[in-house]
Chains A and B, each alone.
Chain A
Amino acid sequence: MSVPTQRATRHDVCPLDDLPVGEGRAYVVGGEQVALFRRRSGKVSAVQATCPHAGGPLADGQIDERVVVCPLHQNAFDLDTGESTTGQPPIAVHPCSVDPDGRVTVEL
């Protein structure tokens, strides 16, 4: 999985209200599993759903404004860049935005 560089498609994924503040949920977007997170600042992020370390479900992890922490072995990944702060390979980050009518869209 890598960040697409060209001809990414915008996908309408879910209403923002389906994402509780500060938590993550997993969706299938364009055939790929994506974890969406709604930070307390309101910013929404979309990253690959599995931890590269041992396949942990990142959507079940805890987040802050900067990172998501995998629930299995506490590996952390930057939500904006995908870089790991605990020495793991990076995760894919997908461009993501909230429409004026409150729908979350992901480019993939």
Chain B
Amino acid sequence: MTATTTRTSALPQQRDHKRRLVVVGNGMAGVRAVEEVLERGGAQQFDVTVFGAEPYGNYNRIMLSHVLTGQEQEDSIFLNSLPWYTENGIDLRAGVAVTRVDTFAKVVHDAEGGTTPYDVLVIATGSSPFFPTMEGLRREDGSMLDGVFGFRTLDDTRALLAAAREHRRAVVIGGGLLGLEAAHGLATHGLQVDLVHSPKHLMNQQLGPEAGRVLRRVVEGLGITVHTGVRTKGVHGTDRVTGVELPDGRVLDADLVVVAAGIRPNTTVALASGLDVERGIVVDDRMRCEGGAGDVYAVGECVQHRGQTYGLVAPLWEQASVLADHLTGADPTAEYHGSRTATKLKVAGVDLVQMGLPGPENDDDEFVVFSEPHRGVYLNVVVRDDRLVGATLLGDVRKTTFLQQAFDQGLPLPEERMSLLFDLGTPGEEVGVAELADDAQVCNCNGVTKGAIVQAVEGGATSLNAVMGATKAAKGCGSCKSVVEQITQWAAGGNLTVDESANWYVPGVPMAKPELMTAIRERGLKSVSAVFRELAPGGAEDAKSKMGLTSLLRMMWPEGIEEERDGRFINDRVHANIQRDGTFSVVPQMKGGVTTPEQLRTIADVADKYDVGMVKVTGGQRIDLLGVKKEDLPRMWKDLGMPSGYAYGKSVRTVKTCVGTDFCRFGLGDSTKLGIDLETRFQGIETPAKLKLGVVGCPRNCAEAYVKDIGVVAVGNGKWEVHVGGAAGASVRKADLLATVDSPEEVITLAGRFIQFYREWGNWLERTYEFVPRLGIERVRAVLVDDSDGLAAGLDERMQVTVDNYRDPWLEGQEPVTPGQFRTSLPLVDLPLVPRRPAGAPGGLVPEVHSNSNATPSTAEVSR
């Protein structure tokens, strides 16, 4: 590489040597600019160096709020992993901060004393959280009090997650987009959250007062306490924050405080380098910096363009595109003229889309409003000169696609303005995709049009994942994913390929379940390792596939398989449910939820003897003993002398019952007895996912049978309804009526047939509330009740063999199957502290904590 002596212009030139492109900032804007440059063949023109202050690859900052709620894992928000830089020949200086640039010598100075010459420089230093002045926020040495967080980086998010696990009260300062997302994230972790916002209403940057008030109701409905029109006076605490003081003297207790009071462009480097800086780094329509000696550009949240700074992702991607057009010479006339911004709030349970103006500004602006605060719905549109210049959709975002197109492209609007908000003839969401114009923007984060998606499909991408990979559509906030999927389906017509791996039973063996079962049967494979050896690519094992294969083999070979303990998840190796601190929970069997004084006495004695951390009645009408050490399990089962209640497996769990006819004055059928009979017959049988049953003696549904995987309801005259596919967990679904039968015996037969059908045809981890709708209840009924496919007898027979071969796993405790089966794996280091809540002290937290941080790993085996 030689240093160029002449001034380098941004136009492409024939050169023997590539120009040196240095990017300061490894965030979304900087890397997007590099990607756009590479896409225009820039690898031929430039040697690229990227400086990043954070020691990571490039990640999607927008998704940090999903990481905070746990909806996304960290690894899924990385846009460019470290190998991507290597593959593209980019010299990444991760963790190296740039201090200043000498624009005359064309050299970048970094904090480690290094100098890096450049021909073209791009500044993309982003922005930082703004910390308003508050008394007590900083210690005397200027450092921030412990427990005060920004919410901006992956490290911030990690720190917040860690703090959320240990603390109970949080105050979020700032009720804008980020503040609301932070507050919601913390509330999801069970913290009590106060949100303090100094303007009069929430999201005042985007919303009018009325919409802000409706939003407040919705947010309060999520359990967040909202204080608007209140400035934060100061922060209490000497070393660590203890509370936030309001101007009226009230103090909100806080173990942690998140400051989300807006962002400020990071301009330190630009200032130190003599570039023009006002609120942000001043750039022209070509993203070129003013001041300095030229060949310096800037993009992203650090810039000020025509007096405007942006804190959203779509504008910075438009800027990156213009910049790349100039740098590579792909389009020397490209200009950036500012962005029309749209905002989406990413808080589960709150649908909010806002674009353009929050309300009318001029006298002749048209303004259509619909407000229904008790339902949390507020909708408005602002129309000027027959063009849409603003829209707010809260609580009902069905019209988003149409309004977004109208807003972005200035489409002509229907005469009847109300139809902008309600379906009176404008394209609804379903008809949308076919009628969308080719240049209609679908993914606003990444600026992907319908045409680009169609092109990708024509270019051979015929699955959603392939289209997302090729176009980046739906890879920003992800809210357009369903539209992208619809367009992909529409464009692919009949040629849509489903992502193959999505059909595989487990990730490590490339076969769908029926195909896999045939191969296993034909080859007589009876162990997990044999399946990998014969059927996996290269015979390679896959840790995440083992549990599913063990379950499948046990279903296929009820008389027994070649047991390999490493094929089982820890719960199935020690027959108890692992808890967050590495201890286990033990649930003795209590068929139908019916117990006796003797059983209760035994359980009480055992709980005392083994110093059980918490005794809890479960939703499935069982008693849960929590906080049991692994090494105590076998002795505990022996002392209990009861069989396992299967509270840990992918198997038949519990049958919940009401009191039925014995005592209830409404009971129509003996639900208690039928529940016990069902549990006796099907106890512990492996299923693709857990299976919860319920039996009720009348349609009052006291044991919630209508939302069970299998729910049985007595309806009088000796008749019973059998419902399947219900759920009342993360999904709530009322079960479908499979059949009405005439006796408890028929219920047992039909339930067994359904379970076996599910075992043979259900995908691994597919709950019945997904399985039944996938096949359709009519199809399930045809197969199981009308025997349309001649499968019924075989299903009954195989279920019978399975039942005959059942063994209670807790008997295993008497004699360990493997060396150290019940040896502790608990570490000496500190674990999440699980508060101890003894029976008889309702809600009362005892200050003593139950942790195994001092547990000495026992080398002594359990008694053999």
Pair from one complex:
yes
- Distance between Cα atoms of A78 and B343 in the complex (Å): 40
- Distance between Cα atoms of A56 and B784 in the complex (Å): 43
Within 8 A of A (CB), among B288-330: none
- Which has the most chain A C-beta neighbours within 10 Å: B540, B825, B826, B856? B825
Nearest CB in chain A: distance from B817 CB, A: 9
The reply to whether the CB of A35 lies closer than 8 angstroms to some CB of chain B is yes
- Distance between Cα atoms of A23 and B528 in the complex (Å): 14
Contacts of B581 in A (CB 8 A): 55
Nearest CB in chain A: distance from B655 CB, A: 28
Write the B549-578 contact mask toward A (1 if CB under 8 angstroms, else 0). 000000000000000111101100100001
Contacts of A69 in B (CB 8 A): 543-544
Given contacts A28-B828, A55-B829, contact A64 B569 (CB under 8 A): no
Contacts of B825 in A (CB 8 A): 24-26, 35, 49, 57-60
Given contacts A22-B564, A88-B74, contact A54 B826 (CB under 8 A): no
Contacts of A71 in B (CB 8 A): 569-570, 578
Nearest CB in chain A: distance from B45 CB, A: 33
Interchain Cβ contacts under 8 Å between A and B, 18 examples: A20-B565, A23-B573, A26-B826, A40-B566, A49-B827, A50-B831, A55-B832, A57-B826, A60-B570, A61-B543, A61-B570, A62-B569, A65-B541, A67-B543, A71-B570, A84-B75, A87-B76, A87-B78
- Distance between Cα atoms of A49 and B433 in the complex (Å): 52
Nearest CB in chain B: distance from A36 CB, A: 10
The reply to whether the CB of A46 lies closer than 8 angstroms to some CB of chain B is no
Cβ contact within 8 Å between A22 and B544: no
In the complex, residue of chain B having the shortest beta-carbon distance to the beta carbon of A68: B543
* Among B508, B529, B820, B828, contact of A25 (Cβ-Cβ < 8 Å): B820
Cβ contact within 8 Å between A64 and B542: yes
Write the A61-79 contact mask toward B (1 if CB under 8 angstroms, else 0). 1111111110110101000
Cβ contact within 8 Å between A55 and B831: yes
* Among A17, A40, A61, contact of B529 (Cβ-Cβ < 8 Å): A40
Given contacts A20-B818, A33-B829, contact A26 B543 (CB under 8 A): no
Contacts of B472 in A (CB 8 A): none
Cβ contact within 8 Å between B544 and A74: yes
How many B residues are at the interface, by size bracket? 35 or more
Cβ contact within 8 Å between B831 and A23: no
Contacts of B573 in A (CB 8 A): 23
Nearest CB in chain B: distance from A98 CB, A: 15
The reply to whether the CB of B857 lies closer than 8 angstroms to some CB of chain A is yes
A binding-site residues for B, Cβ under 8 Å: 17-28, 32-33, 35, 40, 49-50, 54-69, 71-72, 74, 76, 84-88
- Distance between Cα atoms of A28 and B165 in the complex (Å): 27
Nearest CB in chain B: distance from A67 CB, A: 6
Cβ contact within 8 Å between A54 and B547: no
- Distance between Cα atoms of A76 and B542 in the complex (Å): 11
In the complex, residue of chain A having the shortest beta-carbon distance to the beta carbon of B76: A87
The reply to whether the CB of B830 lies closer than 8 angstroms to some CB of chain A is yes
- Which has the most chain B C-beta neighbours within 10 Å: A33, A49, A64, A74? A64
Cβ contact within 8 Å between A60 and B578: yes
Given contacts A33-B829, A87-B75, contact A62 B566 (CB under 8 A): yes
- Distance between Cα atoms of A18 and B816 in the complex (Å): 12
- Distance between Cα atoms of A35 and B821 in the complex (Å): 14
Within 8 A of A (CB), among B523-546: 529, 540-544, 546
Cβ contact within 8 Å between A40 and B541: yes
The reply to whether the CB of B398 lies closer than 8 angstroms to some CB of chain A is no
Given contacts A18-B820, A62-B546, A64-B542, contact A26 B857 (CB under 8 A): yes
Q: Is the interface of B mostly helix, strand, loop or mixed?
A: loop
The reply to whether the CB of B580 lies closer than 8 angstroms to some CB of chain A is yes
Nearest CB in chain B: distance from A78 CB, A: 11
Nearest CB in chain B: distance from A48 CB, A: 9
Contacts of B819 in A (CB 8 A): 17-20
In the complex, residue of chain B having the shortest beta-carbon distance to the beta carbon of A62: B543
The reply to whether the CB of B824 lies closer than 8 angstroms to some CB of chain A is yes
Cβ contact within 8 Å between B857 and A28: yes
* Among B543, B828, B830, contact of A64 (Cβ-Cβ < 8 Å): B543
* Among B76, B543, B821, contact of A63 (Cβ-Cβ < 8 Å): B543
- Distance between Cα atoms of A39 and B379 in the complex (Å): 60
Cβ contact within 8 Å between B74 and A26: no
- Which has the most chain B C-beta neighbours within 10 Å: A57, A66, A84? A57
- Distance between Cα atoms of A84 and B73 in the complex (Å): 13
Leading 3 A-B pairs by shortest Cβ distance: A22-B566, A87-B75, A57-B825
- Distance between Cα atoms of A66 and B508 in the complex (Å): 13
- Distance between Cα atoms of A23 and B823 in the complex (Å): 12
Contacts of A62 in B (CB 8 A): 543-544, 546-547, 566, 569-570
Within 8 A of A (CB), among B73-113: 73-76, 78
Nearest CB in chain A: distance from B377 CB, A: 37
Contacts of B570 in A (CB 8 A): 60-62, 71
Contacts of A65 in B (CB 8 A): 540-541
- Distance between Cα atoms of A55 and B833 in the complex (Å): 10
Nearest CB in chain B: distance from A61 CB, A: 7
Cβ contact within 8 Å between A20 and B566: yes
Nearest CB in chain B: distance from A66 CB, A: 8
Contacts of B824 in A (CB 8 A): 26
Nearest CB in chain A: distance from B574 CB, A: 8
Nearest CB in chain A: distance from B449 CB, A: 31
Contacts of B75 in A (CB 8 A): 84-87
In the complex, residue of chain A having the shortest beta-carbon distance to the beta carbon of B77: A87
Nearest CB in chain A: distance from B246 CB, A: 35
Cβ contact within 8 Å between A22 and B565: yes
In the complex, residue of chain B having the shortest beta-carbon distance to the beta carbon of A74: B544
Nearest CB in chain B: distance from A58 CB, A: 8
Nearest CB in chain A: distance from B399 CB, A: 37
Given contacts A26-B826, A87-B75, contact A57 B582 (CB under 8 A): yes
- Distance between Cα atoms of A62 and B529 in the complex (Å): 13
In the complex, residue of chain B having the shortest beta-carbon distance to the beta carbon of A15: B819
Cβ contact within 8 Å between B73 and A87: yes
- Distance between Cα atoms of A35 and B831 in the complex (Å): 16
- Which has the most chain A C-beta neighbours within 10 Å: B542, B565, B569, B582? B582
Cβ contact within 8 Å between B544 and A26: no
Cβ contact within 8 Å between A33 and B566: no
